[in-house]
Each structure stands twice: as C-alpha cells, then as structure tokens.
Chains A and B, each alone.
Chain A
Amino acid sequence: MSDLKHHIATAFDRDLEGIQAQILKMGGLVEAAIHDAAKSLETRDEELAEQVRTGDLAIDAMEESLNEEAARVIALRQPAASDLRVVLSVMRMSANLERIGDLSKNMAKRTTVLAQMTQINGSTTALRRMARDVEMMLKDALDAYIKRDEALARDVIERDADVDQMYNTLFREFLTFMLEDPRNITSCMHLHFIAKNIERMGDHVTAIAEQVIFLATGEKPEGVRVKEDRTSSDPALSADL
C-alpha cells in the first residue's frame, strides 16, 4: 500500500497491513449497509431492513477491535511519521465508518415503520439515488486510501456538495407534500430524517477522504469546505410555499 520499503522488523509490516486490511473490510460492510438500507426502503423489503439492523453489530465490533489493535501497535511499535499516520487514520476512519453504519441502521429502522404507511410519490427513489451517490463516494474514498490517491480523495470531497444539494431539494419537496396533505406529515418526517441521515453519511465520507489526504501528504487539506446543506442557515429554503 505504501511506496516505502519494508520495515526491518517484518512483524511491524504485518501489524500495519493487518489493521489496514481490517479497515477495508469494515468499509466493505458499511458500503453494503448503505446499499441494503436504501434498497429495503425503496422495495419495502422489511427482511432486508432487519438484516441491516443486525449487521450493524458486526460493524461496531470491528470498530472496537480496530481501536484495540491500533492501541497495541502504538504501545509496542512506537510508530513514527507515515507509520503513525497509518495508525491515526485507521482509528479516525473506523469512527467515521461506525457512524455511517449507525445512520444506515437508523434508516433501516424507519423503513420498517414506513412499510406500514402509504408511499409518498417517488421520494424513496430519490433517496435511494442519494444513498447510491454516497455509497460510490465511500467506495472511491476507500480506493483512494488503498492507492494513497490524493486526487481521488479531493474528488470525493467535492462530490459531497452534490449530496448536500439533493438534500436541499428533498427538504423542499417534503415541505410541499406536508402542506398539500397533513396526512403525509408522519411519513415525510421519517423520510426527512432519512434524507438527513444520508446527508450526514456524506459528511463522514468526506472526513474519511480528508484522512486519505492526511495520510498521503502529512497535512490536513487546506481551506474550509463549503457546506451546501443550507436548510439550517437559509430562511428562504424554509419559507412558506
């Protein structure tokens, strides 16, 4: 994974490769959780939703074991420079992945509730599209991690703006539905939480991409990222229709 030569202590190489293999495996589980949660929402598949909920336990367990393993490497190997960044980035990324897992689980929970209600026109398809974008961002962020690809990581960070835009649009859409018919309110509230969850996942993926840049360059990406989710700051987006 790194263009540097091997350590003189080969066990150190094995330790670092081990935690990196584990974070990628965890990433794979989280990708699947996003995918399945969004799919179960659109297809009203309660069984799949239940699988996502129980699957989150494995993700949580992986985070815990990764943190223990990282602590062990720090204690026994005293990593420096790029080795230290590998360990630090694994610890931070595992926290981000664990949060994405939780958000997917929450989405699956709401799917179970929503399955009992009348469908809101087309909204679950839009949510699934949004989730697919985040899933692709995560896949690319993990690829960028494997290849230490700074450019790809920066691309992922930029794509989060699109996810934020989709959220803004959905926010307006749900407002419209609720105004049209108060009976839509319960569903729309759930759907809105789901949209917000996906938007938050995008932020966590962005944080992972930032770790890739830190890993590759030793520095945090410069500049403040522009948040495109303006629903909390722009009164116009909440104005009466």
Chain B
Amino acid sequence: MYDAPLRKTDVEANEIKISAKDVQVYYGDNHAIKDVSVELQDKTVTAFIGPSGCGKSTFLRCLNRMNDTIDICRVEGLISLDGEDIYDKRVDPVQLRAKVGMVFQKANPFPKSIYDNVAYGPRIHGLAKNKAELDEIVEKALRRGAIWDEVKDRLHAPGTGLSGGQQQRLCIARAVATEPEVLLMDEPCSALDPIATAQVEELIDELRTKYSVVIVTHSMQQAARVSQKTAFFHLGNLVEYGETSQIFTNPVDSRTESYITGRIG
C-alpha cells in the first residue's frame, strides 16, 4: 500500500508535528501494531479509523506514552515530537503528557470542583505564579473548551454534576489548560448525544488553529466531518493514510473501501 500514490494534498503543507517510524507494539506475545510509519501534521485534525481491535487506540496511546502504564506492553520503533524521540530515557513522561494532552472516551472529571479540575494541571506544572494568574488560565481554558458561559457562575460546583456533554468539554478544557501542543482524543463523542457531539466537533475544529489534534473515532461520518487527514488501521497495520476527502471518495486500498462503505472487510 505504501507504493500507492496518494493524491496531491489540498491541505496546506503544515509542518510535521509527530513522526512515527517502524513502530511495533506488543502486548505480551500479541503483536498489536505492525510496522506503522506515519507523519502527523501540525494544526491539522488527523482521524484514526478502523474496526475494533485494529490498533488505532493502541497507536494513539503510544503518542504520549500512555502504554508505559501497562506492564506487558512493549513499544519499538521511533516516535518523535518536533524531531525529539519521546521514548528517550531523559524524557519525563509527565512532562510529555503536558505537551501531548489526552481526552478519553468517557468523560472523567476529577471528583473536585469545576475550577479545580481545570486548575489541576497548571498547578502541578507550576504554570501560575499567583491566584490571579491561575484564574486567568482557568477562564481561558474553559473558554477554549466552549463551556465557560455555562459554568462561569458555578465554578466551585463539582465537575461531576455537569451533563455528559458538559463533562466532556470540561475534560477538553482541562486538557488544554496546560497549553499542550498536541491533543489526543480517544472516541471523545461516543457517549454524547448528537447536539453535544456537534458542540465537541465544532470545538475540535477551533482547536485545530492552535494544536495538532489526533482523534480516534468509530463514527466514519465524524472522521469525515472533523478531520483533514485520515488513517485507516486494520489488524495492526496502517493500511492507508491520506487526505480525508480522498479516503472517503476514492480510497486506494480495497480494505479501506470495504470498511468505509460498510461492507464486511
């Protein structure tokens, strides 16, 4: 598949933010990711699609070393952020995750106030010198999470008291509070209704002006709506990576075609 020519890109040739080369992931004896090489662009939304168990989430979790927390997981190959190897011994995973934020499938606010949820990251990374600065960071993050207007009068109410869609946007606000450069989203809308989904998608599109966003989604329509680049994974292989409009109108690989048109692949 790598020999197949991809169409000339319409997306302006943004710089490469994350580069992965010959990445292999093993869970014990299970070879979960096979020879994946890909270059993810800055200020671009990249969607990872593929059937369950194809490795898209596993690969996403490699990008901020979330797989380090799984004992039997082994990652090989080179993954670099702005040209620097993120698996280098000198890299502190906590610092890395401040740069490469993550939003999960299920909204998981801390059992704390809305304010503290967002202030948590900036506090542990020492991003604010005083209360006024912290207030400012929290407001900015909540605005960027498109939830400020809904929560500004109850910042000290518990985050868990918000609706599912609001909780997810709170988690996005929390993720952007540490000023990350890359935002990883693992099925951020799968538990949301269509309205909340639309709000999150709108937010993703806005985030693109500042960050490189990588989203794993089971909804092909969502991938088509929010992303500029799409990568299709199948059985641990990266089958096809290209411009979203090309992937959805004229995919090169027949496996991609089968999957996006809803055929048994």
Contact = CB atoms under 8 A, between A and B. Distances in A.
Contacts of A227: none
A78 B221 contact: yes
Contacts of B264: 5-6, 8
Given A218-B249, A218-B250, A219-B250, A81 B257 contact: yes
A4 B221 contact: no
Nearest to B257: A81
A148 to B, nearest CB: 14
B47 to A, nearest CB: 14
Nearest to B247: A81
B248 interface: yes
B261 A80 contact: yes
Contacts of B258: 4-5
A9 interface: yes
Contact of A80 (B220, B254, B265): B220
A82 interface: yes
A81 B260 CA distance: 8
A79 B220 CA distance: 11
Contacts of B262: 7-9, 12
Greatest chain A CB density within 10 A among B254, B262, B265 is at: B262
Interface residues of A, number: 17
A79 B261 contact: yes
A73 to B, nearest CB: 13
Contact of A6 (B220, B224, B263): B263
A84 interface: yes
B250 A4 contact: no
Greatest chain B CB density within 10 A among A5, A81, A83, A84 is at: A81
Contacts of B265: 5
Contacts of A85: 249
Given A4-B257, A4-B258, A5-B258, A80 B263 contact: no
Contacts of B261: 4, 7, 79-83
Interface in B206-250: 220-221, 224, 248-250
Sorting the interface of chain B by its residue count into under 10, 10 to 19, 20 to 34 or 35 or more gives 10 to 19
* B interface: dominant SS: helix
A227 B184 CA distance: 54
Contacts of A79: 261
Interface string A162-201: 0000000000000000000000000000000000000000
B251 A81 contact: yes
Contacts of A12: 262
A81 B250 contact: yes
Nearest to B246: A218
Nearest to A13: B263
B246 to A, nearest CB: 9
A156 B4 CA distance: 30
Interface string A72-93: 0000001111111100000000
Interface in A200-229: 218-219
Contacts of B248: 80-81
Interface string B12-35: 000000000000000000000000
A84 B263 contact: no
B223 to A, nearest CB: 10
Contacts of A7: 261-263
Greatest chain B CB density within 10 A among A4, A79, A80 is at: A80
Interface of B: 220-221, 224, 248-251, 254, 257-258, 260-265
9 contacts: A7-B261, A8-B263, A8-B264, A12-B262, A80-B220, A80-B249, A81-B260, A85-B249, A219-B250
User: Which are the 8 A-B pairs with shortest beta-carbon distances?
Assistant: A218-B250, A5-B263, A80-B260, A83-B261, A80-B248, A7-B262, A81-B257, A81-B261
